[in-house]
Amino acid sequence: MDEAGVDGALIVQPINHMFDHSLVTSVLKKYPSKFIGCCLANPADDGSGIKQLEHLIVQEKYRAVRFNPNLWPSGQKMTNEVGRSLFAKAGELGAPVGIMVMKGISSYIQEIEELCTDYPATTVIFDHMAFCKPPTNDDEEKAFSSFLNLSRFPQVYVKYSALFRITREAYPYEDTSQLLSRVISSYGANRIMWGSDFPYVVPECGYKGAKEAISHVAGKVAVSSSDLEWILGKTVSQLFQGAWVTP
């Protein structure tokens, strides 16, 4: 982070540790002015994840929660009773929900629209541009358009992150410029934030390289300097007010 000129970061609970948040919690306590945390929602059938969520946000000071639809019990949707309770509770506690659609947006668009419609107080952040690559056929264009159309919900934000996952090219991932341009047109730069996808980004292009790629790609589509400021820090700072300041 120092090498890349990054002052603070949001650490997302790694799925490798599932619902054992002890490592991330210890880091948040050790570096309170450097990091804030995003916990992982536990959608267990018994509803125990709702109390876990409340504990992590209220007691352990996590500021956001990730929904990974792959963790829902087989055949269940994010709109089931537990999912709705988790989503509503996050909004009640002022914690944005980061949605990680590794299998693509198309499978989940109806669930997401339903949650955004029914719980407008809950902020949503799409991880990794909702895994949309530059469209090369009608199905991909339809999926990307459905993602852009979610900008009609003012509470929805986008992470322009993990470029190596959404590109079809080698570093510096110039083909993602068309994605960035269209997302800025739909959402506005003040609803877009950069993310590195550390540690997975390290063998791809390095952490510093990941940040430098953003400015490089933005230059290809004439993103204004003020828009780039939003993407590289102002958006996330406004979303998580009071974070990254020395107590």
- Write the pLDDT tens digit of every residue in 103-132: 999 999 999 999 999 999 999 999 999 999
SS3 103: coil
In-domain check, residue 245: no
Domain holding 80: CATH number? 3.20.20.140
In-domain check, residue 189: yes
In-domain check, residue 173: yes
Q: Mean of the pLDDT values across residues 34-49?
A: 97
In-domain check, residue 247: no
| Mean of all residue pLDDT scores within the chain | 97
- Write the pLDDT tens digit of every residue in 167-224: 999 999 999 999 999 999 999 999 999 999 999 999 999 999 999 999 999 999 999 9
pTM: 0.97
Kindly indicate the confidence band of residue 244, based on its pLDDT and cuts at 50, 70 and 90: confident
Given this model, what pLDDT does residue 81 score?
98
Kindly indicate the confidence band of residue 245, based on its pLDDT and cuts at 50, 70 and 90: confident
Alpha helices by DSSP H, the chain: 22-30, 48-58, 81-92, 109-118, 138-149, 163-166, 177-187, 207-220, 225-229, 235-239
SS3 96: coil
**Nearest one of 10, 116, 128 to 62, comparing CA atoms:** 10
**What total number of domains does the chain contain?**
1
Give yes or no for residue 35 having a pLDDT over 90: yes
Kindly indicate the confidence band of residue 246, based on its pLDDT and cuts at 50, 70 and 90: low
In-domain check, residue 205: yes
In-domain check, residue 109: yes
> CB 46: neighbour CB atoms within 10 A?
8
In-domain check, residue 246: no
Given this model, what pLDDT does residue 247 score?
56
In-domain check, residue 160: yes
Q: What span, in angstroms and rounded, lies between the C-alpha atoms of 158 and 187?
A: 8
Kindly indicate the confidence band of residue 150, based on its pLDDT and cuts at 50, 70 and 90: very high
- Which domain, by its residues, includes 9? 2-240
Give yes or no for residue 46 having a pLDDT over 80: yes
